[in-house]
Structure 1
């Protein structure tokens, strides 16, 4: 559905939001309008869950000042982190021998790849080989030779090739890896390899079992193909107007862009959020 919906989806208990291109504006901030909508959702008893491809170290920084205290799905579902206790509830890492072999097979099809590795755990390292560049400008990436990518447990590997666009490279990697690894296209230049059966869906399902909610209870917001598993699991999926065509095609609704507060536009239509706004205004 293109444009803003006129009939609100049914109320949901859980609001699951991607960060980049979705909850965050292009300057990586959360607008005052979106903050207010999330406040009203919490006042109505709804749970907000951040669900992102970024590792914990990024997620903590980006959500600082938002009053976020609950768990978050990070690293495409490879990590579930509890802000309240500062601990990992779930952490998955790659089988080094397996991922090196599959990267070799992908490179046989594409030619030499530029690689990056994000280490597992809370003390995240960001390592890149020559020619990769930096996915996130706010990070210091350490330039290393390929063997040094594997010096510590790795949560995910990113691949780039100058002659293949992201969609083509992701499709080729998925063909090579099959079920052995999860391949996610998370943004420009962000084609990621993760442990098999790892996705935002698996991270949310882990929290659903812990917190006692279901996919049907969840309204999810996203912008890229890595949000597809989350949309398939959630009861209602909302794609941003700036989102990837594959996600927009799968969405139940398309809202306005992240820079136009697309998350808030939808939340403000929910009866429970409107009731939460009335509660907040009485305090």
Structure 2
């Protein structure tokens, strides 16, 4: 069988409802690698919140983080590594308008940077529960342009905040809304998406677009699902995403949806 690029979203896809990787998923993805296929995590998560899963799966190649803004190989120096950013002046403008807009927490991140303006415990491990002086998001500590910003906002003001951010900065950034119960907004560099990261992987490994299999479940997977030769949406994925999918898994993320699909599709 021709070598495939297997692009894996994490939350709601490769991870089950307890944010764990099952033994079967580990075994099937390991078999896929042994068969010569390229297996890559392509996630909206920061690298600091994804590298543990990368290590658990014993992956060797690049990982894509921040919805396509960062591509690198963990624990290694790599000549093809990239990071796309936007101006830190946007972060400063948002911090100044934070209370007027209805934003509760503002974070700015990059490969080696994670800053938040205030501590918060809403999402375990995402926004810091405590901050050292050098981890506070302010004009002194934010020395480099971020690859992503994440904001906890007031639920009732979310739609209005999105409109205002798009009006003020829409030519320079994408404004994304998290799925799920938490009112979280994400900012990423304009024109960057998971498809950007997957295209980079395919070119790096000289794999044809038709030989890309991508798995996802949420709105931030849309461009990747559309770009891949075989865009597969999880059974538990959104209806909107399923409408652009090439296929839908028979099982959800709590029942090894990715593993069962690949086992059958690749004859593993």
TM-score by length of 2: 0.82
Shift of 1:213: 1.7
Q: C-alpha separation between the residues in 2 aligned to 1:252 and 1:170?
A: 30
Bigger RCO (CA 8 Å, 6+ sep): 1
- Confirm or deny: 8 A CA contact 2:226 2:245 kept in the other structure: no
- Confirm or deny: 8 A CA contact 1:115 1:160 kept in the other structure: yes
- Following superposition of structure 1 onto structure 2, how do residues 188-227 of structure 1 map, counting pairs within 5 Å? 188=180, 189=182, 190-227=184-221
RMSD: 3.1
- Following superposition of structure 1 onto structure 2, how do residues 137-156 of structure 1 map, counting pairs within 5 Å? 137=125, 140-142=128-130, 147=138, 151-153=142-144, 154-156=146-148
Tell me which residue corresponds to 1:113: 103
- 2:254 corresponds, among 254, 259, 262, to 259
Q: 1:177 to 1:167 in 2, by over 3 A?
A: same
Structure 2 stretches lacking a partner, 5+ long: none
- Following superposition of structure 1 onto structure 2, how do residues 1-283 of structure 1 map, counting pairs within 5 Å? 13-83=4-74, 85-86=76-77, 89-101=81-93, 111-122=101-112, 124-129=113-118, 133-137=121-125, 140-142=128-130, 147=138, 151-153=142-144, 154-164=146-156, 173-174=165-166, 177-188=169-180, 189=182, 190-255=184-249, 256-270=251-265, 273-274=266-267, 277=268
- Confirm or deny: 8 A CA contact 2:5 2:202 kept in the other structure: no
Q: C-alpha separation between the residues in 1 aligned to 2:219 and 2:140?
A: 26
TM-score by length of 1: 0.78
- SS for the counterpart of 1:160 is strand
